[in-house]
Structure 1
Amino acid sequence: MGEIDYGEIQQVLDDLLGQNVDFQNMAEQGASGNSPISFQNLLKMAEGLFFRELMEQKELWVHILILAIAAAVLLHFADVFQNKGVSRISFCMIYMMLFLLLITSFQGSMEITTNVLDAMKDFMTVLAPAFFLAMTLTSYISSAGIYYEFTLFLISGVRWLTSVFLLPCIEIYILLVLVNHLSGEKRLGHLAELLSMLVGWSLKALLALVCGFHMVQGLISPAADAFRTMSVSRGIEAIPGVGDAGSSATELVLGSAMLIKNGIGAAALMVLILLCMVPLIKLAVIMLVYYVLAAILQPVSDERITECLLGMGNGVKLLFQAAFTVLALFLLTIALTTAVTG
């Protein structure tokens, strides 16, 4: 453990999670065979966060309900006005107020997603040197080099894909949904659906690419490293007089390094879950609020209002999928790399 510097990892975690997480202690717990964190406490924390976030969204519920009911009253009682254009203009004014409210709420969801993506990328950037250094100590030198390059490529690729393509597409999707339901004619619906499909396909393709790399690479370089290690061990055993003792010492050193590497991997998995738990719960609650409001208001409000809320729910769902997919990519990378190298 002394050869691996956790200082930069701990500094990043202190900035992201405060001083409540000791990465070195978690890695030591994992290396000793214990769980780095209690899953029971993790579930209790997630449950508390869910209900707390649900209450924090209460103000959004109330504002949307008031605007939706006001729009329904204006449309259902339009006959009261001598000029029906008055009710339509009033509806447009209410819809624009709802538009601003939803855009503001969505900007908050975008900020949550951007922050969690940046947090994962920063953590993976500082984790990679320590993790792959520990892998080289286990004699998996070729695998460490290949997986290290792939991890850096994955981090930079995720950063580029999310900032240049995925998040802007989701923003445009939300704007198209809101503008599309401003009038009775839906002229932008298919374009919005196209953007949604592009985002979904891109996330699935990225996940398939990472899984495919690990499936192929897991059959090549780890086997070559294992064969090289076995050859060295057998060569030491062949030395007269000290062969058995030297082979036992080599196996002891490599086994200790393997435990250290696996402990770092287990700690990294737990830290990634901790980094993403709060943002993902917040996005899930916001998405649930939109879907529930759309279902409740459908019998009484105008179709444009309910479709708008449903589209907002789909937009937040895309943000949730983007953050969750990136989390899954990093979890798979660490877990599969740890598994195939011993």
Structure 2
Amino acid sequence: MAKDHFIPASLMARFSQDAVGPARKRKVWSLRSNGSRAEVRAEAVGYSNGLYDVDSGMFPTRGVRAVDDVWSSYEGDLPGVLDRLIDRSVTAAEWIDTLVPFVAASFARDRGYKSRVTRRLANSTSGLFAEIPELAELALDDTNIAINRLMEMERFAARALASEWVVFEFDEDIVLPDVGYGFDLVSEDPDVLALWFPIGRRNLLMLTPCASRRVITRSEGEWKPSIYYSQTEVKVGELNRALAHTAQDFIVGTRTSIDDVRPEDLGRFDWHAIDEVLEQWPFSVDTRELGGLHRVVQAVVHGELESFDGVSLDRYGAVSELEPGGTFMAPNREIRAERFLAFDGIGLVLSVD
């Protein structure tokens, strides 16, 4: 049975002090919620068996690993692209093809996703799932859960696009929680939640929602991603403890960084609390209406689209692409891309409020 990493081993390896050999074999220190500390290979933690398997009968072209193939589509390039993100040389193509999917998939790959969806269905106001148990059982089938992970990824890809990107550099080592991210409330009324993504021993990517922003700019005939950089004097020990709050089982890092964290710092947010926090969105546009936005911006970056006339968002594109020979049927209300996107002579502006 396949070992499905819910957090990329190549990402965990970036928190090792080792600099030689295959990334997946590099050793990191881990701290578990039971207090145990150990030095482990990056590939030896952060996985579940068959986590993303689907019914191969539904996906004869790709088979049982169809959904896992989506993660593989960006993981191979991730280490190099993260290096270029940190050194300020990342291209727009690398940003839209690798970094946006990496960020978005962080909220869809976790092993608690089925529990999160189950809670959502239980709290559904429609009442259909309570009235028709068979419907809930079908929705929670392993294949449907795996497919819904892609829908979640699409939603968070749009949220990533509608956020300011800032890369921070620290003077000390930081930790990586087993969900891959942390968060911070940066303002209230309405609540604005910043998402933290540790991307290396001393670097963190922060995404903060923006009602309107220029996502890419045109410079010397090329598209450039809108990414900002900052050095900060925050107390790294406090940051590490805050990052540990979303960890469900473990954190990884150098020995110095995990020593900042106490076992009781882990898991301050359980799966349901994480889901409730992630549902916070300060703008009027429902993020479900933004599904498919990533592919439109991707087409612009790759020179395949110069106008939004007649262009609609396909919120089910990620799912329908899994089986090229199949027919995917789902209600798909037409939402025009020009409702959210516009060229302004300098770049591409995205507005979600």
Calculate the TM-score normalised by the size of structure 1: 0.23
Q: Which structure has more RCO (C-alpha within 8 Å, separation ≥ 6)?
A: 1
Name the structure where helix makes up a greater proportion of residues.
1
Greater C-alpha radius of gyration: 1
